[in-house]
Structure 1
Amino acid sequence: MVKEMNVQQMTEKVLNKEALFILDVRNESDFRDWKIEGENFSYLNVPYFELIDGVDAIVDRLPKDKDIVVVCAKGGSAAFVAEQLAEAGFDNVYTLAGGMQAWSEHLHQTKVYEDDQLKIYQFIRVGKGCLSYMVVSGNEALVVDPLRFVDVYEQAAKQEGVTITHIVDSHLHADHLSGGKELAERTGAAYYLMKSEGAVFDFEPLEQHDTIDFANVHLEVLAVKTPGHTPGSVSFFVNGKWLFSGDTIFVGGLGRPDLGGKVAEWAADLYDTVYEKVAAMADEVIVLPAHYANLDEEINAEGYVGDTLGRIRARNEMMQNKPKDEFIDLVIQSANTETPPNFEDIVAINRGLKTVDGETQRELEIGPNRCALHHTHA
């Protein structure tokens, strides 16, 4: 009998590093571009159209001693193939409910920190590599880089018994749609964004807010050129201990500054960020980025994506005494990677210049995150 695995169960298997066999029946190009990543996962990609008349050609390539999850774009094709496998004698077959569409949209909530002053939660969009946050203190909450699934943050605030009063976006995102504007409209919270990012709706310009304070939270806006891959990227420094770095600094790399056609100019800004502003911060500062490249490598023992600034510096050669001209040359060389799909449409929507329906939102976001410049180790 075919069983169903939901995206939360799949997430637990990823986080627990369990062994799993995935039969992906999407087209080969889609599979190569983007798949469910797991440290102990095995894969077979055979397009659905090759299995319409039966699965005999692949039964010898499938394990009898591991769970098999059949994956497709939305779930229907996988269910058809899984039924055939069950008829062929496999009793360890699952389908992924909702397919890659559901996988792309799932958020996993985990606790970063808690004391009597504040709590920090991280929301991991496992299928997309995006990270967002909620900082809770007193009766209020701040949301950092919210995704478009605003009900998740509303539910988290309800469970904490707090009101969302502040929402910040570290930059105008290029690979996913921000939930900042909608979440602000639904909660009445103040929504902060850099004016230089070009949004056309009402918001609080971060240029006019050096700090944001509520309850026991003191947030410093590092808004003097901390670019990641947009000119108005900022970082948020909370209570002198946590650096919400947006797409400027990742656990395993730096943000890519090439999406605006000014790679050399913005690479120089990125250098100034790393070697002037960030260099002055203590090694003990904990970096909480807006994206990650590889969950297996970047999630820590506490179950969240983040690391101390000292350890990030130690293993990232781009942050280790590079002359400015050499740094810029390396960024230019590294920046010729594939751009986020549909990033021009996504940026236009995030600016408020364009609106699309829910199905179009899903289609625009399909695929992996491509916001990291590189994944470097010393």
Structure 2
Amino acid sequence: MPDATEISPAELLGRLRNGFEPLLLDVRNPDDYASWRMDFIRDQVNIPYIDFIETPDESAGKVPQGREIVALCAKGGASAYVANILKDKGITAVNVAGGMKAWGNLYVNTPVWAGNGAEVIQFNRVGKGCLSYLLVSGAEAVVIDPARHVEQYLAAAKERGVKIKYVFDTHLHADHISGGHSLAQVAGAEYRAGSADMDLATTPCLPAGDGEVYTIGGMTIEVVSMASPGHTPGSTCFLFADKLLFTGDTLFLSSMGRPDLGGHASEWVYNLWDTIRKFEKLGDDVLIAPSHTTGTMEMDERWRVIKPLGALRKTNPLLTIGDKERFAAKILSCLPAEPEDYQNMRHANLGQVEPDEETKERWELGRNRCAVESAAEARHR
């Protein structure tokens, strides 16, 4: 077994949040490194593992001196080997246990809002940029866009002494396996999503129709569904207590959801335009809580990915386009390639296939690719 000093992804993130500024040595091949990076560390160098095998002295010499080194690979083994090579040469390096695979399954839970006896907790799957939410009022709760690791939502609800009453998926997910149906089963909750997305589902799912009202807690906090087609035909946003809009993959802090994953981009892009026009009736103070993030640049000082709609109206470049045809042209010109396993995950989330855990892990590897990309994002993803 490798004897390199190891650090878990959770421990590493905790240190980074407290000001740790290491140099990341990523030993994956250049293509994998370019496709999916640990963007929480600013200073990075990519020296492939094979280089340390073939030319260990030369490769070790490329590692900058005088820095605390964090070594990273896909699953933790190759980087442990490299860390030991560096150790033998007097260079201290700590290895990330489990590598990017483990980083992709790390969640950070952050309170993002509280008021009127209610609270909202954001679950950030930091490696993938996936966000989900627990909404609590009184003794009841709602979960929005849960990932397949459902234990964390059950634990958070138990900690607060509340029962999960509803589980909502804002749309048919393509970038990860939803935990919506399984969480609802375990919690004894209603599972709901937009019927236009789930009409081919073999798993039980109740519709979340436009304008429907769901109440939780003794204070009758309302969750109002809002049909928002564009990213998918059944995309649905949820307005909580008139204060927060959970936008799923419709509106992100810096972009919007891509309209091409169903193969109808030229049609769905106009649905997205119409949906964004609906948001014009909402006040500037409504907080936008999306289901994806591009990473650290969208986090505030409390590590929340949430921002007032009024701010987005000034900073989100797609929200500043006031012409329908220019909007459509811009969107369609900024669509990244679709990852090959996205259609597999769509079928799995409809219950049409039942992949094993190993397959789920493989399909989910990598950062989400659900947003319209700018040229800068494409270069630095």
Shift of 1:53: 5.1
Contact preservation (8 Å) 1:73, 1:101: yes
> What is the count of residue pairs matched by the alignment?
370
Question: What is the Cα deviation at residue 8 of structure 1?
Answer: 1.2
Label 1:311 to 1:326 Cα distance change in 2 as closer, same or farther (>3 A). Answer: same
Give % identity. Answer: 36
Q: Is the 8 A contact 1:133 1:145 kept in 2?
A: yes
In the aligned structure 1, how far is the partner of 2:51 from the partner of 2:364?
27
Q: Does 1:180 align with 2:189?
A: no
Change (3 A) 1:311 1:208: closer
| CA shift for structure 1 position 13 | 4.5
Match of 1:166 in 2: 166
Describe how 1:1-378 pairs up with structure 2 within 5 A: 2-16=4-18, 18-38=20-40, 40-52=41-53, 55-91=56-92, 93-115=93-115, 117-198=117-198, 199-207=201-209, 210-215=212-217, 216=219, 217-223=221-227, 226-275=228-277, 277-293=278-294, 295-320=295-320, 322-335=322-335, 337-375=336-374
For residues 107-132 of structure 1, the C-alpha deviation after alignment (integer angstroms, 9 at most, x for no partner) is 11111022351111001111001000
For the residues of structure 2 that align with 1:347 and 1:269, how far apart are their CA atoms?
20
- Asked if structure 1 preserves the Cα contact closer than 8 Å seen for 2:238 and 2:246, the reply is yes
Query: In the superposition, relative to structure 1, how do residues 196 and 17 fare at CA in structure 2: closer, same or farther (>3 Å)?
Result: farther
**Mapped partners of 1:228, 1:301: distance in 2:** 31
Aligned-partner Cα distance in 1 for 2:16–2:36: 15
Deviation per CA, 1:178-222: give whole Å up to 9, x if none.
011111111111111112113221121112871111113200000
CA shift at 1:341, angstroms?
Answer: 3.8
**In the TM superposition, what whole-angstrom CA distance separates every residue of 1:282-322 from its partner, at most 9, and x where no partner exists?**
000000000012x2221113320010000001112322352
How many Å apart are 1:94 and its aligned residue? 0.6
Q: Gapped runs of 5+ residues in structure 1?
A: none
1:86-106 Cα deviation digits (max 9, x unpaired): 111113x11101111100111
Distance (Å, rounded) in 1 between the aligned partners of 2:19 and 2:297:
11
Give the Cα separation in 1 of the matches to 2:321 and 2:211: 32
Inter-partner Cα distance in structure 2 for 1:134 and 1:264: 35
Shift of 1:46: 2.2
Aligned-residue RMSD, C-alpha: 1.9
Secondary structure of residue in 1 paired with 2:141: strand
CA displacement at 1:162 relative to structure 2 = 1.5
Task: Please report the TM-score for the alignment, with normalisation by the length of structure 1.
Answer: 0.93
In 1, Cα distance between the equivalents of 2:95 and 2:79? 6
- 1:105 is paired with a residue whose SS is coil
Cα distance in 1, alignment partners of residues 121 and 188 from structure 2: 21
The 2-side partners of 1:307 and 1:375 are apart by 20
CA distance in 1, matches of 2:15, 2:247: 28
The alignment partner of 1:207 has SS state of coil
Counterpart CA distance in 1 for 2:305 and 2:246 is 12
Q: Which amino acid aligns with 1:218?
A: E
Query: Quick check: 1:104–1:366 contact (8 Å CA) kept in 2?
Result: yes
Which residue identity does 1:338 align to in structure 2?
A
Note if contact 2:210-2:226 (Cα within 8 Å) is conserved in structure 1.
Answer: no
Compared with structure 1, are the counterparts of its residues 156 and 27 closer, same or farther at alpha carbon in structure 2 (3 Å cutoff)?
same
Map Cα deviations across residues 140-176 of structure 1 (whole Å, 9 max, x no partner): 2111100011111111112112222210000011111
TM-score where L is the length of structure 2:
0.92
Distance 2:10 2:106 in 1: 8
Contact residue 230 and residue 275 of structure 2 kept, 8 A: no
In structure 2, relative to structure 1, the CA distance for the partners of 1:65 and 1:227 (3 Å cut) is farther
Contact 1:284 1:310 in 2 (8 A): yes
Whole-Å separation in 2 of the counterparts to 1:346 and 1:354: 9
Amino acid of the structure 2 residue aligned with 1:37? D
Structure 2 gap ranges (5+) = 377-381
SS of 1:136 mapped into structure 2: strand
CA distance in 2, matches of 1:167, 1:182: 10
